[in-house]
Structure 1
Amino acid sequence: MWNENTPIYRQLKERVIGMMLDGLLKPGDALPSVRQVAADYQLNPITVSKAYQELVDETLVEKRRGLGMYVTEGAVDKLLASERERFLSEEWPAMVERIRRLGLNLEQLLQGAQKPGAAV
């Protein structure tokens, strides 16, 4: 369940971000309580708090005193913008280089994307 090479709080943070990007957590939705997440995943509550605090620091989540943590308005747009930028600056250049090395053309790539089971 957890990857040994990455701190658990970062992995938990990435799971919450994934839920936001997938539409499972929408602006205004409450995050599960620190205690609940700690119990569900058998984690130290401090680990969960650290993940949540990073989300707060990035203004993706806000603390509401006595109520809990909530997804902020605009969080998904902010995430999409940063993820797109990261993809274009880090991942895409590596893919383009691999495509070039393999001698693939646009037609071949599009045909591959249309095969059953291929993500489009």
Structure 2
Amino acid sequence: MQTWDHKLPIYQQLADQLAAQLLDGDPAEGQPLPSVRALASRYMINPLTVSRALQALGDEGLVETRRGLGIYVRPGARERLRSVERERFLNDEWPQLRARLRRLGITAEQLKWGDN
């Protein structure tokens, strides 16, 4: 069951979660997203909240509505999203993470970058 954080609106959290799935290639560019009704049922939230999340993704140019067909991932969405997320990570998250690593005395050699 999905747990929502009270710090952000649910629609934004859902949009962020759907964007993360898009970044992972699910669904692929040119493919449809699940319907509003299916997403509302899956996450047990109001369809209007789902619609607002999808609108946020549309406003970012990641998805498009095709009348009578549904909502589809736009070509280039994954790379556009990756670029925005990289920039956000490097400017916002990395400096904080780097400072925390320094405070904890963790060196680059101690970090494991592989899957093992």
Post-superposition, which runs of at least 4 consecutive aligned residues in structure 1 deviate over 4 A? none
Aligned residues, how many? 114
Number of the residue aligned with 1:77: 79
The one of 6, 20, 23 equivalent to 1:21 is 23
Gaps of 5+ in 1: none
Of all paired residues, the percent bearing the same amino acid is 50
Provide the rounded CA distance (Å) in 1 between the counterparts of 2:19 and 2:38. 18
Gaps of 5+ in 2: none
User: What TM-score do you get using the length of structure 1 for normalisation?
Assistant: 0.84
- Which of structures 1 and 2 has the bigger CA Rg? 1
User: What TM-score do you get using the length of structure 2 for normalisation?
Assistant: 0.86
State the Cα distance separating 1:103 from its structure 2 match: 3.2
Provide the rounded CA distance (Å) in 1 between the counterparts of 2:42 and 2:87. 33
Number of the residue aligned with 2:106: 104
Provide the rounded CA distance (Å) in 1 between the counterparts of 2:107 and 2:44. 48
Q: Give yes or no for the alignment of 1:31 onto 2:33.
A: yes
Provide the rounded CA distance (Å) in 2 between the counterparts of 1:103 and 1:5. 31
Would the alpha carbon gap of residues 40 and 108 (structure 1) be closer, same or farther in structure 2, given more than 3 Å must change? Answer: closer
